[in-house]
Chains A and B, each alone.
With several copies, the nearest count.
Chain A
Amino acid sequence: MDLLYFAWVRERIGTGQERLDPPEAVVNIADLIGWLATLSPGHAEAMREPERLRAAIDQRFVPLDAPLGNAREVALFPPVTGG
């Protein structure tokens, strides 16, 4: 699974992209956030406040309880601030 990170999520983790293979118990975005938090201190810091995170699966916004299904690309980021 390709993981993409943007804004301060990217900065805290230290990379904008990584390929990871989450365990089977990780079935939705919230699970994924919890699992990512265990990977490194940077990941832990980025995932510390899940309520401040937003997600997209295969480039579509999804809520945090969305199932991962056969996601190829999952992105995690703060609420958007463009325009």
Chain B
Amino acid sequence: MIRVSVDSAPIELSVEVAALEERGAGGVATFTGLVRGDDGVTALELEHYPGMTEAVLIDLAEAATSRWELLGVTIVHRVGIMTPGERIVFVGAAAHHRREALDACAYLIDRLKTDAPFWKREQIGEGARWVEARASDGDAAGRWL
């Protein structure tokens, strides 16, 4: 079962986890990305490519289910404006065995970082800057080739 969502509403972690836990799996692995409040960032804005973003996330979830034996995959990404401490992204995988769930979870977030059309803009007091892509993200996604 695949669930993909791109939404400006806050991510309801309990609801997402409960849906994965109900798949009858032996284990659920999750990763949640949060807005960090260091570096003076007061707000973060996420822009995406409507249509393409959702399609990429569905492809990514399907790639994970064909690579590992999974009972559930969830990818939820927030867009719009959020503040420090809020959730940006949630990925989760449910599987009979923990290794599958853990590996799939790492795979989903690594590949999402390089393959999904989202762009972050940091608000720092009165100013704002577009976040630059990091070479380390490409390296992390390359682990899964």
Contact = CB atoms under 8 A, between A and B. Distances in A.
The answer on direct contact between A and B (beta carbons under 8 Å) is yes
Interface in A41-68: 56, 59-61
The range of chain B's interface size is 20 to 34
Contact of A77 (B33, B46, B88, B119): B119
B95 to A, nearest CB: 14
Nearest to B52: A59
Nearest to B128: A11
B51 interface: yes
Nearest to A58: B52
A4 B50 CA distance: 11
For the residues of B in contact with A, the DSSP-based class is: mixed
A57 to B, nearest CB: 11
Interface residues of A, number: 17
Interface in B72-125: 77, 88-89, 98, 109, 112-121
B119 A83 contact: no
Interface of B: 33, 46-49, 51-52, 55, 77, 88-89, 98, 109, 112-121, 130-133
Interface of A: 4, 6-8, 10, 56, 59-61, 75, 77-83
